[in-house]
Chains A and B, each alone.
Chain A
């Protein structure tokens, strides 16, 4: 859906999406990294289970909700990637204890 411009010379950062290593760039948000990765990053909603991807990328729509380092319901568009970050695509509601 999206590709990186060749002028982007930022260093790579390795993150893990559902356990699989994915190359992101320093300064990417989690949501941008997911959309650039080509992974199936679709979450499913808590109400009907419908598939969603980020809509606004600016912190207002909450369609980028994702589990980051074991914490659920994080807005992926507001969190920068970090080396070794563990991301889980959230299916349905946030789980208790996450």
Chain B
């Protein structure tokens, strides 16, 4: 189970086995490059194709045809010579393309000629009052349990937020016999007008028909409240109720489970720790890496594919994986690259897969009050730091997220800023009257996931390493 990599060096190391990583690793290995695919999860698929090789959901239409596409990607990967290690947590990547990976509690080190990061996305923080209560989870969390363990909500369940995943999850829960009491749609009314200029591309994309039919399926069975402008969760050590405002009406409903979702954002930790340049995306409201048309980053030899390169969805992720892999093959084995689909054809595929995205991004751009909290609402879940704590620190001189660490330890807990980073940047930007780009983000460093000191101490070391730290 806990097998270390077979070699010390590879032509290509792909990190993450979601749609982009699966496509990239298969393409690279088929072209004859020695390829290693490292993935943190129990099986391949990433989030969108989670548990694709093991799901207990046997009625295929319940998960939808888009899910089962993942099985073909896994099959292509298995048919290739790529070496695949699951439950492998990459905790370091540097400019020399040296990679440290923790597998079964022991660290191994590999070197690559090219690295393709396919670390995907995570759900945008949804910092409302009470979001740390037991019983409040992300919509993605519920979907993970649904796909990998055929678990569905059976208590009083409220789903709140916006975006395509929310409707897909609701449809899947209902198909599997789960319970949803109410859906609270937080999409800002003004966004419908803002998105209008992009409507044609969306209406002619596959998203439209699928989205519409899913929304109809859900609305036939669940009460949907739209135009929700305030949202909070309450309870004593456990979620008991959800309150919201829609129109001028405030309502409180009892609940056992609240599932939150307001889109996904790139999972930047590993890329940023490798020193890759990122910039603030004011439409998607997140940090995205600065990349060329082949996915190459500002660090030579490291490309990024999939949602980690900027949110584009699963279809775009697959194509971006192939583009990044083709670029690696061109660099390392040009003769083999001639046998792959031409770059121009892949870029045309990408444009097709990205059709309609601008409409979705504009329509589902989350409202400020759900991104930038106030008062006693927790911003940093790990260190339990509130919005007021952050603003108080700004008032006495904290200038950005890195200074704030010294004041409040925000971002210094185990999640390393994944659940507070965007909130801290936007909150401080607003308080200081600056742009998020000017305020910046946490300076991320290895190890990007916590590992034990015992694991570090057990790493093989040379006599020189020992001499460097031993006295006398």
Using known A-B contacts A53-B137, A61-B381, A62-B413, determine if residue A25 contacts B149 with beta carbons closer than 8 Å: yes
How distant is the Cα of A90 from the Cα of B76 in the complex, in angstroms?
Answer: 41
Q: How far is the CB of A12 from chain B (nearest CB, A)?
A: 12
User: Judging by beta carbons under 8 Å apart, are B413 and A1 in contact?
Assistant: no
**Is residue A56 within 8 Å, beta carbon to beta carbon, of the partner chain?**
yes
**Is residue B154 within 8 Å, beta carbon to beta carbon, of the partner chain?**
yes
**B residues 8-52 in Cβ contact with A at 8 Å:** 40-42, 47, 51
Q: Give the number of A-B contacts (CB < 8 Å).
A: 137
Interface size range of chain A in the complex: 35 or more
**Other-chain residue from A36, A57, A59 in contact with B137 (beta carbon distance below 8 A):** A57
How distant is the Cα of A28 from the Cα of B151 in the complex, in angstroms?
Answer: 10
Q: Which residues of A contact B142 (CB under 8 A)?
A: 57
User: Judging by beta carbons under 8 Å apart, are A27 and B51 in contact?
Assistant: yes
How distant is the Cα of A53 from the Cα of B150 in the complex, in angstroms?
Answer: 19
Q: Which residues of A contact B132 (CB under 8 A)?
A: 50, 52, 55, 63
User: Judging by beta carbons under 8 Å apart, are B413 and A78 in contact?
Assistant: no
Using known A-B contacts A2-B151, A2-B152, A5-B176, determine if residue A58 contacts B134 with beta carbons closer than 8 Å: no
- When C-beta atoms are compared, the residue in chain A nearest to B43 turns out to be A27
- When C-beta atoms are compared, the residue in chain A nearest to B42 turns out to be A80
User: Judging by beta carbons under 8 Å apart, are A58 and B145 in contact?
Assistant: no
- When C-beta atoms are compared, the residue in chain A nearest to B141 turns out to be A57
User: Judging by beta carbons under 8 Å apart, are A60 and B135 in contact?
Assistant: no
How distant is the Cα of A60 from the Cα of B150 in the complex, in angstroms?
Answer: 21
**Is residue B450 within 8 Å, beta carbon to beta carbon, of the partner chain?**
yes
Q: Which residues of B contact A35 (CB under 8 A)?
A: 145, 151
How distant is the Cα of A58 from the Cα of B45 in the complex, in angstroms?
Answer: 12
Q: How far is the CB of A47 from chain B (nearest CB, A)?
A: 5
- When C-beta atoms are compared, the residue in chain B nearest to A78 turns out to be B40
User: Judging by beta carbons under 8 Å apart, are B145 and A32 in contact?
Assistant: yes
How distant is the Cα of A60 from the Cα of B422 in the complex, in angstroms?
Answer: 14
How distant is the Cα of A1 from the Cα of B141 in the complex, in angstroms?
Answer: 13
A-B contact pairs, 30 of them (CB 8 A): A1-B153, A1-B257, A2-B151, A2-B152, A2-B154, A3-B151, A4-B151, A9-B56, A25-B56, A27-B51, A27-B149, A29-B148, A29-B149, A32-B149, A36-B151, A42-B134, A47-B383, A54-B141, A55-B132, A55-B137, A55-B381, A57-B141, A58-B141, A60-B122, A60-B415, A61-B381, A61-B418, A62-B415, A78-B41, A78-B42
Q: Which residues of A contact B415 (CB under 8 A)?
A: 60-62
Q: Which residues of A contact B419 (CB under 8 A)?
A: 55-56, 60-61
**A residues 24-81 in Cβ contact with B at 8 Å:** 25, 27-29, 32-33, 35-36, 42, 45, 47-48, 50-63, 65, 73, 77-78, 80
